[in-house]
Amino acid sequence: MPQLRLALAQLNPTVGDLPGNAALVREWCHRAAAAGAGLVAFPELMLTGYPVEDLVFRESFVTASRAELARLAGDLASEGLADLPVIVGYLDADGPARVSAEATRAAGPRNTSALLHRGRVVARYAKHHLPNYGVFDEDRYFVPGDTLTVVRLGPPGGAVDLALTICEDLWQAGGPFTAAGVAGVGLVVNINGSPYELTTDDRRLPLVASRAIEAGTHVAYVNMVGGQDELVFDGDSMIVAPDGRLLARAPRFTDHLLVHDLDLPTATAPDLAGTAAGGMRVARVALPVDPPTPPGPPVSGGIAGRPELAAEVWRALVLGLRDYVHKNRFGSVVLGLSGGIDSSVAATIAADAIGPAQVVGVSMPSQFSSDHSRDDAVELAKRVGLDFRTEPIQPMVDAFLANLSLSGVAVENLQARVRGVILMALSNQEGHLVLTTGNKSELAVGYSTLYGDSVGGFNPLKDVPKTMVWRLARWRNRAATERGEVPPIPERAITKPPSAELRPGQRDTDSLPPYQELDAILAGYVDADLGRDGLVEAGHDPETVDRVLRMVDAAEYKRRQSAPGTKISIKAFGRDRRLPITNRFR
């Protein structure tokens, strides 16, 4: 029974940085070779980053991707890695894509997995199942492949058959995995760009296991890691046996090389002729390399444990923010510190992401700011070690009030907008990225001031419901305590009733239901697409439901202008949920 030391390189590419991504591949190929790997696999579209969206339609981009792959194959060979088979995702096409159904089909952009060996591309596979739901628009971009590529790796009599697949091929029934089962391969290598989604269940492992069992093959799942605009990829690469048993699993939210020795069945298919199964053709390629028997004692990749939910979400938010800041070449961020829970948690995430000295926290008190809020902002900044400033807003607010006749909500919003102008001025003057900190519950019901507290280039809490913000704060404080550190977030910021402090004695519950109730309704309406009747059937108060749904629908125009932020839920505002602004359906 042939042995294969398989390496899965769970890495963090940057969209559009083709030379940088290729350099990452080369660096980690050296690591894989040093670990004695007989095969190394990188994530989906590793060379271009993912998702590349409408860059697909730019001929110069497709050309650059193809050229980078050829260069990479050559570079690997010239760097002494000629004999290491390398699987890597890139963008390929027959010609320039265009924004029309017929033209795209003609051009044939394909989300492709390539096998590199001895300076050449020896096999290619084009993704068959294209996700076109949620945040994905791959029917817009890619032509589906119709051929499963099976590679016979090793010398005659001691070779293994492995099949190349990509991401969604695993999530939909039929197609490549069915074909791989019929073709009798010993290993399916599935390369992924699969974003993090908060679920209390583990959805990936059961899925990988069931496909392994169905096809009777080992499955190696390698996923990217890192943030790309609103998505964060969590890694979670893994290897599963034909009986569904988990053999190895990488830690999440971090670069990792998962190296594991596999005993694979000797390839027995009589010859290399093409067959057909699962609605696909099968193309076979032989790679008669030296026996890939691993050197030294058997190596296991180990099975990384899964942290508790709050810890997992925290890591997702930290990584999503860090990559947005650094990949967009910012060195620092600035945010308003109200002393409330949202800005306290956001500041702590930012400090964990890029270091507290790179986080400017600005207290911008008004006549309605309570003493405890000012104190809590100062205390948080001190505990976390932020670059802290105070900029009272009253002089600017007064200048507007002296020149305009304003009352009620207009005066409330004015205060928030003066704060927004201050933060943007600091950004323009000093070069910080502005963070906005409205949570998902507020964003849902429009409980924010457009161009006020909503100003910012990124929102780490955009997809975090208020009740989860509290949970994150408690977890982060507890984690600090367990490490013998000072809990960053002042207890009072967690326990006090939330208030925007835009008028005397204001509380969020003046305008909104309690957050526990609000978040439950929002989970039904936003995440599960329940209508009014469904929510009432689920036990919610009809009047409250009506009020919340009206608020959510009416706030669509605000969300359309909101800053990007890391998606963690099954349905984030943005590409994940596309609703018209003009909409009279109630």
Positions annotated as catalytic residues are 44, 127, 167
Cα–Cα distance, 279 to 216 (Å, whole number): 18
Q: 124: part of which helix (H) or strand (E)?
A: strand 120-126
Interface positions, 216-245, toward a copy of itself (CB under 8 A): 227-229
Instruction: Give backbone dihedrals phi and psi of 72, rounded to 5 degrees, phi first.
Output: -60, -45
Cα–Cα distance, 320 to 397 (Å, whole number): 35
Q: Provide the 10 A C-beta neighbour count for residue 457.
A: 18
Query: Residue 16 Cβ, how far from a copy of itself at the closest point, in Å?
Result: 3
Categorise residue 68: left if φ over 0, alpha if ψ from -120 to 50, beta otherwise.
Answer: alpha
Residues 6+ apart with CB under 8 A from 531: none
Q: CA torsion angle for 514, 570, 473, 470 (degrees, to 10)?
A: 10
Query: Residue 243 Cβ, how far from a copy of itself at the closest point, in Å?
Result: 25
User: Contacting a copy of itself (CB under 8 A), which of 53, 255, 517, 541?
Assistant: 53
| Alpha-carbon torsion (327, 331, 337, 341), positive or negative | positive
Q: Quick one: tokens of 309?
A: 């939910």
Cα–Cα distance, 45 to 222 (Å, whole number): 12
55 counts as binding a copy of itself under rule CB under 8 A: yes
Question: Please, is 216 exposed, middle or buried when counting C-beta atoms within 10 Å of its C-beta (0-12, 13-18, 19+)?
Answer: middle
Residue closer to a copy of itself, measured from CB, 200 or 429? 429
User: Contacting a copy of itself (CB under 8 A), which of 4, 39, 41, 64?
Assistant: 64
User: Contacting a copy of itself (CB under 8 A), which of 74, 108, 131, 307?
Assistant: 131
Residue closer to a copy of itself, measured from CB, 294 or 574? 574
Q: 70 to each of 19, 59, 67, 122, 280, how far by Cα in Å?
A: 12, 17, 5, 11, 27
Residue closer to a copy of itself, measured from CB, 280 or 414? 414
Interface positions, 85-114, toward a copy of itself (CB under 8 A): 96, 98-102, 104
User: Contacting a copy of itself (CB under 8 A), which of 11, 18, 40, 443?
Assistant: 18
582 counts as binding a copy of itself under rule CB under 8 A: yes
Closest CA to 333 of 353, 363, 317, 314: 353
Residue 445 identity: V
200 counts as binding a copy of itself under rule CB under 8 A: no
Asked if 363 and 391 count as a contact pair (C-beta separation under 8 A), the reply is yes
User: Contacting a copy of itself (CB under 8 A), which of 450, 461, 473, 493?
Assistant: 450
Number of chain positions touching a copy of itself (CB under 8 A): 95
| Alpha-carbon torsion (396, 401, 402, 404), positive or negative | positive
Contact mark string toward a copy of itself, 558..577, x via CB under 8 A: --xxxxx------x----xx
Interface positions, 355-374, toward a copy of itself (CB under 8 A): none
30 counts as binding a copy of itself under rule CB under 8 A: no
Indicate the DSSP class of residue 80.
Answer: I
Asked if 326 and 283 count as a contact pair (C-beta separation under 8 A), the reply is no
Contact mark string toward a copy of itself, 371..410, x via CB under 8 A: --------------------xx--xx-xxx-xxxxxx-xx
Question: Please, is 221 exposed, middle or buried when counting C-beta atoms within 10 Å of its C-beta (0-12, 13-18, 19+)?
Answer: buried
Residue closer to a copy of itself, measured from CB, 17 or 546? 17
Query: Residue 538 Cβ, how far from a copy of itself at the closest point, in Å?
Result: 13
42 counts as binding a copy of itself under rule CB under 8 A: no
Query: Residue 553 Cβ, how far from a copy of itself at the closest point, in Å?
Result: 9
Query: Residue 462 Cβ, how far from a copy of itself at the closest point, in Å?
Result: 13
Contact mark string toward a copy of itself, 160..189, x via CB under 8 A: ------------xx----------------
557 counts as binding a copy of itself under rule CB under 8 A: yes
Interface positions, 502-541, toward a copy of itself (CB under 8 A): 529, 531-534
154 counts as binding a copy of itself under rule CB under 8 A: no
